[in-house]
Structure 1
Amino acid sequence: MSRLADRAVGALIQGIRRLAPDNDGPNPWLEGSFAPVYEEVEQTALPVTGAVPPELDGLYARIGPNPVHPPQHPGRYHWFSGDGMVHGVRLKDGRALWYRNRWVRTGPVSRALGEPPAPGPRRGVFETVNTNVIAHAGQIWALVEAGPFPVALNSRLETVAHTDLGGTLATAFSPHPHLDPHTGELHAVCYDARVQNHLFHVVVGRDGRVSRLLAIPVRHGPMVHDCALTERYVIVLDLPVTFSPRRLLRGVLMPYAWNPRHESRIGLLPRDDQATADDIQWCAVDPCYVFHTCNACDLPDGRVQLDVVAHDRMFDHSTIGPDSRRVTLERWLLDPRRGTTVRTVLDDRGQEFPRMDARRIARPYRFAYTTSYGQESADGSCLYKHDLETGRLEAHRHGPGRETGEAVFVPRHPDAAEDDGWLLSFVHDANRGASDLVILNAQDVSGPPQAVVHLSTRVPHGFHGNWIGATEVAMGA
């Protein structure tokens, strides 16, 4: 889309939002453990209960929405629309050296802070980057879907530049690219809020440059938050949450909605540089929505196994945040010969943010880790460990008034067993109005934490992050 067209669409959206009715009512996504913080801080020599494993040398980083100023109309604020803020804790030599938080310097954030704009190219009619932070090709990138380019950060979480990956990225990117640990390729399925008739499969090589781009025809402009890999396929989720002109005209900040007219299907795109969109094998699936896959693999009989967190519906009524009523951990068996999908519920407890040992991406695996979702408990929120071979479930209950975010698995060493390592997550403690970085032994999830790093500030509930080892990205103390 041309710059002139971008400006026209941007002017239309801003005009619609100015005409939208004011709504100054309360908003749960701006309150309690979701309430934003309004300053950047740095804390050093962090106090620790327990012992930080000396093998952990790197940065635990996580990002989430955090408006730089209180929203003018809080009742219209959508959780997914807040300015991105990255939070990180640097661990080294058994110590927690520092915590800091930094807003991602988009144009609006830089203007609000009275700073010059960060360098680098922009695309689309919005710049917000708030959904994931990863390391690849020796760089740290903050990511989002639907339009903006990645934003490069340094190891102190400061914005370096917006990047189109050396001029090779010509589309929107994804918050959930998946790295095949055997090939070093980063695969993403991306959508652009301005392009309703195509998705894009993007491959980024070890050098941090796009090596493949494939357009995939679709209808209605589906919202595709995640994808998955097997050794043979890239898995494309084409599910019934789609672009909603009606919501756009109402001034909704995130104009996507449940669309029962949209065919619900899963695509199997061969991982072959010569494959085209015509080679995708589509499998029908009962209508639902998936934000997050856990992992996938090929089965000997030609079917594909895909583990997901499935929401019964999404954005059916709410215009400010998720509104599903039932959320389950499921295993889907995709049969490309029949074009069918068989869904099996592995656990019907409400849960989200599935993670696993990233060394097993696209291969058979045994352990999945999730966090409780939409459940009230006197013992606080839970982190679950699923043994997918035996069906055994272990839970770590963080205690009254304590709520965990997504947990990231870090192996003890490169050749460690699949669950030999640690689970790291930020835990919000309402009892003291602050947060902790909690480190659990993945082989004793229900036991006491290996270490609790105490922060003197809150980390609002957010989205995704990763462990960035000192061997992945050059970093100082």
Structure 2
Amino acid sequence: MATRAVSGPRLDIPTSQLPTLPGVPMSEPFHAIPSFYGTETPLRFEADVHDCEVIGRIPSELEGTLYRAGPDTQFPTLAADNIVNGDGMVSSFDFRDGHVAFKCRYVKTERFLKERAARGRLYGKYRNQHTDAAETHGTDRDNTGNTTAFFHAGRLLALREDSYPHQIDPDTLETLPKWDFAGQLKGMSLTAHPKIDPVTGEWWSYGFYCRGTLDADMALQVIDAKGKVVREEFFQSPYAGLAHDFGVTREHVIFAVMPLTTDAARIAAGGDFYAYDPDLPSLWGIMRRDATVDTIRWFKLHECVSGHIMNAYTDGDMVHIDATISKGSAFPFFNDVHGNKVDPAQGIPLVTRLSFDLSSAEDKVTRTPFPGAMGEMPRCDPRYAMAAYRWGFIKTRNGIGRLDWKTRELAEHVIPGGSSQEPVFVPRRADSAEGDGFLLSLVNKPAEGCAELYVLDAQHMEAPPLARVRLPFKQPMAFHGNFVPRAERP
């Protein structure tokens, strides 16, 4: 009998027992795919833990809900699949009177429901309809809602950068209809990295590939505090690349396009949607907030690939952007344009300040790395978004890091034997000083087969957690989330 040997713990599976569907490549077991190994192996279940075990004490000021979104593929993955292609899972940690309740639910997208009905994998590679089963033709194949759980104007939304968001019930986490802003939004996509103006309550956004083609169409979008689309302007990037995150200051908008490009022929042949082109520069398009998109000035930076942006602010003619920057591709699951694996060492991100001099006729940009700040998933105190600020936070290799932009010192909460996820900052009170509050970060503990939500005092990173909210199972990577105070919930 023919068998297939896979990496990781030995598991020989008869090929006759592996699922096959017409037009779909043969699936692999979950743990054969690097993106789905160890703590990232999908759970494939929804759960409720009504009263979580709490080690320590929940601060009395912490009242509200942490919402998170990430991928959790419900059926076996394809060979060389990547974690970004997983089904959306929204989870919540609800803090109430010192107790914490956990809940997680799949985002019941058209794609999810169609595969569940078929009891098998129907959709192929990330953003490549040419690898799908025939019966999926014409369905919404990419909208998995797996990137960000975001709350605005009374709505909880599961965001994915190539699609409209799905509405999620903030109490039950059950999936509600997709949200196109009551027909107000004309573009077909909006970013999964929204920026909220803490002064006006506006939601600043953009869409890429927003007309449904592989052209470099982009759109600037602004939604007011009540959820009404008040601005949507279309333009084109100099090339069609990856635009995963962007920056907004009190005076400017910064569009960031990375040199991971699309190619119709490659996609039609079953290849990856993106491929890294090391010969192309990254693009940084800057415009004033009160100007129109035809005034965008595009700066070009070589050997400068950004995954995520911590914050941005304007100081006179200088626009500062603090981002995770690597020399090469920060997305190792996409090959280069020649079909070769990218060098992961070139993709190690370091938090770096890019300072753009708008007074210079040349592309004058200063790069200032933050010493030792290797990590990802950067955040700041949301009350200081779009303005000059002091404190930033990242997921590091060893735990959770706090950056002091005033002293350029990195403080780290080290987690031996554990791996942290995105840290979310929650102010102690609405009027607390910047950085006075709590950091919430999910930590997997492989040796114990469980996960714990750490609650840290952001000003005492070296101290033990104030509380550890323990789950009796691990938690695959949730990309991004947000904390909603009790008073802001409907």
TM, length-normalised to structure 1 = 0.86
- From 96, 100, 103, give the equivalent of 2:103: 100
Structure 2 counterpart of 1:291:
307
For residue 351 of structure 2, give the secondary structure of its aligned residue in structure 1: strand
Are residues 438 and 276 of structure 1, via their aligned partners in 2, closer, same or farther at CA, if it must alter by over 3 Å? same
Q: Are 2:246 and 1:242 equivalent residues in the alignment?
A: no
Structure 2 counterpart of 1:265:
283
For residue 278 of structure 1, give the secondary structure of its aligned residue in structure 2: helix
Structure 2 counterpart of 1:333:
355
Q: Which residue type is aligned with residue 256 of structure 1? A: Y
Structure 2 counterpart of 1:356:
380
Contact 2:424–2:483 (Cα < 8 Å) also in 1 = yes
Are residues 446 and 126 of structure 1, via their aligned partners in 2, closer, same or farther at CA, if it must alter by over 3 Å? same
After superposition, residues 164-313 of structure 1 pair within 5 angstroms as 164-171=180-187, 172-192=189-209, 194-252=213-271, 254-272=272-290, 275-300=291-316, 302-313=317-328
Structure-2 separation of matches of 1:282 and 1:189: 16
Structure-1 separation of matches of 2:39 and 2:26: 25
Structure-1 separation of matches of 2:97 and 2:333: 46
Q: Which residue type is aligned with residue 89 of structure 1? A: F
Q: Are 2:54 and 1:51 equivalent residues in the alignment?
A: no
Structure 2 counterpart of 1:343:
367
Q: Which residue type is aligned with residue 440 of structure 1? A: L
Structure-2 separation of matches of 1:325 and 1:281: 27
Cα deviation code 1:305-362 (max 9, x no counterpart) = 1100012222787438994533111011101222321111113453000001010011
Cα deviation code 1:439-474 (max 9, x no counterpart) = 000010111001001111221122001111222222
Contact 2:371–2:408 (Cα < 8 Å) also in 1 = no
Gaps of 5+ in 1: 1-16, 116-121, 376-380
Structure-1 separation of matches of 2:487 and 2:113: 31
Contact 2:244–2:307 (Cα < 8 Å) also in 1 = yes
Q: CA RMSD in A?
A: 2.3
- From 81, 85, 88, give the equivalent of 1:77: 81
Larger deviation, residues 335-344 vs 318-327: 318-327
For residue 487 of structure 2, give the secondary structure of its aligned residue in structure 1: coil
Q: Cα distance, 1:398 vs. partner? A: 1.6
Contact 1:217–1:277 (Cα < 8 Å) also in 2 = no
Structure-2 separation of matches of 1:469 and 1:317: 36
Q: Cα distance, 1:413 vs. partner? A: 0.6
Structure-2 separation of matches of 1:447 and 1:107: 45
After superposition, residues 438-453 of structure 1 pair within 5 angstroms as 438-453=454-469
For residue 488 of structure 2, give the secondary structure of its aligned residue in structure 1: coil
The structure whose RCO (Cα within 8 Å, separation 6+) is larger is 1
Q: Cα distance, 1:20 vs. partner? A: 7.6
Contact 1:283–1:336 (Cα < 8 Å) also in 2 = no
Q: Cα distance, 1:123 vs. partner? A: 8.9
Q: Cα distance, 1:289 vs. partner? A: 1.7
Q: Cα distance, 1:210 vs. partner? A: 1.4
Structure-2 separation of matches of 1:442 and 1:209: 35
Q: Percent identity?
A: 29
TM, length-normalised to structure 2 = 0.84
For residue 128 of structure 1, give the secondary structure of its aligned residue in structure 2: coil
Larger deviation, residues 233-242 vs 124-133: 124-133
Contact 2:372–2:410 (Cα < 8 Å) also in 1 = no
Larger deviation, residues 257-266 vs 224-233: 257-266
Q: Cα distance, 1:126 vs. partner? A: 2.3
- From 364, 379, 383, give the equivalent of 2:400: 383
Contact 1:228–1:234 (Cα < 8 Å) also in 2 = yes
Q: Which residue type is aligned with residue 93 of structure 1? A: D
Q: Cα distance, 1:110 vs. partner? A: 2.0
Q: Cα distance, 1:287 vs. partner? A: 3.3
Q: Cα distance, 1:23 vs. partner? A: 6.9
Structure-2 separation of matches of 1:125 and 1:104: 13
Structure 1 counterpart of 2:113:
110
Contact 1:439–1:452 (Cα < 8 Å) also in 2 = yes
After superposition, residues 374-413 of structure 1 pair within 5 angstroms as 375=397, 381-400=398-417, 402-413=418-429
Structure-1 separation of matches of 2:28 and 2:464: 43
Structure-2 separation of matches of 1:213 and 1:429: 44
Gaps of 5+ in 2: 1-20, 119-137, 336-340
